[in-house]
Amino acid sequence: MSLDWTRLTDDPNNGPAKQAVLRHLLAARRVHTDRGLLEFVEALVDGRTVLDIGVVSHSARYFDQPDWRHGHVARRARRCVGVDILAPLVDELNARGFDVRCVDATSEADLGERFEVVFIGDVLEHVDNTVALLRFAARHLAPGGRIYATTPNPFSRKFFRRFRRDGTAIVNLDHMAWITPTQAMEIARRAGIALAGYHLIKKLSPAQALVKRIAWRFTPLEYSFPDFVYEFAPHG
């Protein structure tokens, strides 16, 4: 499922085109309340070959934490190769037995391998060139493969509360941008791939999920979810 708005109009503010994009995004949206984000990621990579982009998570202090995402991905994947640009920390991870390459994932580099899943965990909002990042990811997909990218949801309650408390949004100081669903569509279009879907994930009890589903009739659904997980795929 894909939509190229430029086939409808050359005006990015065209009303009918915006309505088409809205319909497309609502059809592409998936809500998961039976698991948390880490569980969702583990299910994506379980038994598959995986390229994990941006594995360091800023600092070596995360390597020994139980929720360090690359540790979970590497354990669940059939084969996992990590990528990061922080050479000393890449060396440390390799010394610990991980397979991590020091490569700029916005470059034209080719690792010479293809993967069933390319996972990009909270990287889109940090890089100078998101289009180049998705091109790098797509270059490493095996036939039928998918790219999954997590990124913060700026419309979530968490960020609204910070905005209300501080008067402006102070977040991770290394962030370059927010990536909203329409922006994810456009980045994918420019990278030559498609936004196949996007996922909202938060583990809720059955009772909590019922209350939320009633509340979502009156408030925006996306307000309840702190992250987006974008799913990208080649055309065809």
The pLDDT assigned to 235 comes to 86
Q: Which of 115, 100, 6, 111 shows the shortest CA–CA distance to 56?
A: 100
Structure tokens at 14: 């065209």
The pLDDT assigned to 63 comes to 82
Give per-residue pLDDT as tens, 165-182.
888 888 888 899 999 999
Q: How far apart are the first and last CA of the chain?
A: 9
The pLDDT assigned to 1 comes to 62
Mean pLDDT, residues 43-53: 97
- Report the percentage of the chain scoring pLDDT > 70: 97
Assess whether pLDDT exceeds 90 at residue 188.
yes
d(CA 51, CA 110): 12
Give per-residue pLDDT as tens, 73-126.
999 999 999 999 999 999 999 999 999 999 999 999 999 999 999 999 999 999
- Report the percentage of the chain scoring pLDDT > 90: 78
Return mean pLDDT, the chain.
93
Give per-residue pLDDT as tens, 140-165.
999 999 999 999 999 998 888 888 88
d(CA 109, CA 116): 18
d(CA 31, CA 16): 26
d(CA 121, CA 208): 27
Mean pLDDT, residues 44-64: 86
The pLDDT assigned to 58 comes to 64
At the fourth CATH level, the homologous superfamily of domain 32-234 is Vaccinia Virus protein VP39 (3.40.50.150)
d(CA 90, CA 84): 7
The pLDDT assigned to 71 comes to 92
Work out the pLDDT band at 38, boundaries 50, 70, 90: very high
